[in-house]
Chain A
Amino acid sequence: MSVAKRVIACLDVRAGKVVKSVRFVDTRDVGDAIEFARRYNDEGVDELLFLDINASHERRRTAVEFAAQVADQMFIPFTVGGGIASADAAGEILRTGADKVAVNSAAVRDPALISQIAERYGSQACVLSIDARRSGAAFEVVIDGGRVTTGKDAVAWARDGVARGAGEVLLNSIDRDGTKLGFDLEMTSAISEVVDVPVIASGGASSAEDFVTLFRETGADAGLAASIFHYRELTIPDVKAAIAAAGIHVRPAEAFVRR
């Protein structure tokens, strides 16, 4: 037996406000971001991911204050990503109580960033986030929220990033993002077969069955979704119950009662 498969909720944050997805603008104030995080935590989600979209776009550092606010109320692991371009910036985030940082565009521009973070804070604290899309029979890395193509092969980049010290790979399918067509199983398998660290699949989930299929058919360790949880199309307990019913090792969703 190994560790449980994980269900991760993602909050896309822009200037402290939750937005629906990378390509959609949906303004809500910062209180809502914390509110959503609390709700997912209290429903029994395994982990939270906060992506500061604006930070990546404008190459600004992710808001440390926001991470600290989150840390005050979360008693589960959480990751912060977006615009982290140095080991010092990663350290600032980790000191707030975040467990991991996710690096994406900055790591593509300067792959040494991965080893700098891993050497200082450990591989377990460094997540390599890869946005990729299909390109013929291969998968190509894109950066800056999907706006810039790199010509880089996603499978080779995942292998390289892990060799440099990334402790996890977060694989986001740009083709599936927001489509509700299910996770890109083929791409997830292509990556999980070549790395020996956990792979988190992201993009396209629309049902609990999508998570079951992901864990049955690929080597993914975690499935991530944003908008379906955001709009309550699915709850964390629904997803967990379906995974458990399929005989897959998962932590049961236990309601979290605050005092």
Chain B
Amino acid sequence: MIAIVDYGVGNLASVRKALRAVGHDAELVRDHARLREARALVLPGVGHFGYCSREFNRFELGPVINDAHARGVPILGICVGMQLFFEGSEEAEDAPGLGLLAGRVRKMRDVPRLPQIGWNEVRVSGSHPWLGSGDGWYYFVHSYVAEPDADVTLGTVDYAGARTAIVGTDGLLGVQFHPEKSGPAGLRLLDSFARAVA
């Protein structure tokens, strides 16, 4: 089972529908025992990092996700879900991330407009077993962006400079954009992930 981590935040239903549209079943799961049974996890998130972090921790999901990662369970993070992989965010300095990846999330500076809303083209610079080609046009809605300390960036988007769009390492893949709202390219990415973890 692919479990979409349900902490009441984000486009949960949209992610599930998008996975279904490419032939993969997924469940919205909050229960810790059920999460431990999942063969792969999708961590969504949208809006304010502080709110997401607080809700995530209110359901005491940190240890469950960390444990899954330690056991090698594949995890896909979407938008703020991906930002939660990092240590924290400038958007809410007191709200912790999972710290699975070194680095922080910072406000984009010297950009024409905040948030970046709309379609932009991702250039893939690295490979990952779940990513497929990864190239394509995706839908972005964000003001903050991950700044990894280690070399985990797999793709960037040009928004007044190269911004992190895809990160990945063993057992983790994170995307800043919304694949569930990114038409054919987004569905390809979700399909690629679901197939790889099947």
Q: Which A positions have Cβ atoms within 8 angstroms of B?
A: 1-4, 6, 41, 44, 46, 71-72, 75-77, 97, 99, 121-124, 167-168, 196-198, 221, 251-252, 254-259
Partner of A251, one of B119, B158, B180: B119
A77 CA / B18 CA spacing, docked (Å): 13
Say how far A34's CB is from chain B's closest CB, in angstroms. Answer: 14
On whether A259 and B23 interact (CB within 8 A), knowing A72-B17, A77-B139, A97-B11, the answer reads: yes
Contacts of B113 in A (CB 8 A): 2, 196-198
A121 CA / B184 CA spacing, docked (Å): 27
On whether A198 and B17 interact (CB within 8 A), knowing A75-B182, A75-B186, A77-B139, the answer reads: no
B21 close to A75 (CB less than 8 A): yes
Asked if B185 CB lies within 8 Å of chain A CBs, one says yes
B117 close to A252 (CB less than 8 A): no
A242 CA / B184 CA spacing, docked (Å): 21
Q: Could you give 6 example pairs across A and B, Cβ below 8 Å? A: A4-B118, A97-B14, A99-B181, A124-B117, A258-B21, A259-B23
Contacts of A221 in B (CB 8 A): 118
A40 CA / B120 CA spacing, docked (Å): 19
Contacts of A123 in B (CB 8 A): 115
User: Chain B: interface residue count, which band?
Assistant: 20 to 34
Asked if B92 CB lies within 8 Å of chain A CBs, one says no
Q: Which B positions have Cβ atoms within 8 angstroms of A?
A: 11, 13-14, 17-18, 21-23, 47-48, 112-113, 115-121, 137, 139-141, 158-160, 180-187
Nearest A residue to B15, CB-CB:
A97
Is chain B's binding surface mostly helix, strand, loop or mixed?
Answer: mixed
B22 close to A259 (CB less than 8 A): yes
Say how far B118's CB is from chain A's closest CB, in angstroms. Answer: 3
Nearest B residue to A99, CB-CB:
B181
Say how far B159's CB is from chain A's closest CB, in angstroms. Answer: 7
A257 CA / B21 CA spacing, docked (Å): 10
A-B contact count (CB 8 A): 83
Contacts of B47 in A (CB 8 A): 121-122
Contacts of B17 in A (CB 8 A): 71-72, 75, 97
A2 CA / B119 CA spacing, docked (Å): 9
A44 close to B183 (CB less than 8 A): yes
Partner of B117, one of A121, A198, A255, A259: A198
Contacts of A259 in B (CB 8 A): 21-23
Say how far A2's CB is from chain B's closest CB, in angstroms. Answer: 5
